[in-house]
């Protein structure tokens, strides 16, 4: 029997296989990145009261701020981290992923698993960013 942690890793690895190349392409094209950020903002707004999504909203908002700060030249983020952040945002807005979002109870489980796995994978960069962000105010 696979543990929850094992399932999270499986979802994360599967998401990387499915979407990492697309995420890299989005990073390379400013227009696509802007469009993705708009889609994420709309999806967060649409789902902000959804109980299964609440735990993913804060990491998603941090991912967006990190990418924006990097693109504005304010805070540098390693390329690998940029790819993972965009992967998380992309996975969140894709309606047909490993478990389609319209499936009751399960539809958002893979989204949450992938987002939280990415958050954990880039935790050092996130902490560094949050410290930098705090120092600005």
* 2/31 Cα distance (integer angstroms): 40
Q: What is the pLDDT of residues 83-125, one digit of tens each?
A: 999 999 998 888 655 555 555 556 667 778 888 889 999 999 9
Identify the CA nearest to 91 among candidates 45, 29, 23. Answer: 23
Q: What is the pLDDT of residues 18-56, one digit of tens each?
A: 667 788 888 888 899 999 999 999 988 887 787 767 778
Q: How many CA atoms lie within 13 A of 83 on its CB side?
A: 13
Domain limits, the chain: 4-135
pTM of the model: 0.78
The answer to whether 97 and 18 have CB atoms below 8 angstroms apart is yes
């Amino acid at each position: 029997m696979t543990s929850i942690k094992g399932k999270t890793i499986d979802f994360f690895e599967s998401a990387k296989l499915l979407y990492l190349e697309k995420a890299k392409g989005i990073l390379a094209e400013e227009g696509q990145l802007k469009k993705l950020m708009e889609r994420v903002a709309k999806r967060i707004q649409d789902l902000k009261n959804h109980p299964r999504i609440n735990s993913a909203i804060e990491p998603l908002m941090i991912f967006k701020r990190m990418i924006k700060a990097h693109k504005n030249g304010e805070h540098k983020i390693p390329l690998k981290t940029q790819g993972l952040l965009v992967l998380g945002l992309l996975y969140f807005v894709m309606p047909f992923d490993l478990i389609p979002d319209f499936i009751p109870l399960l539809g958002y489980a893979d989204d949450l698993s992938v987002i939280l796995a990415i958050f954990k994978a880039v935790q050092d960069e996130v902490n560094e960013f949050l410290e930098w962000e705090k120092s600005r105010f």
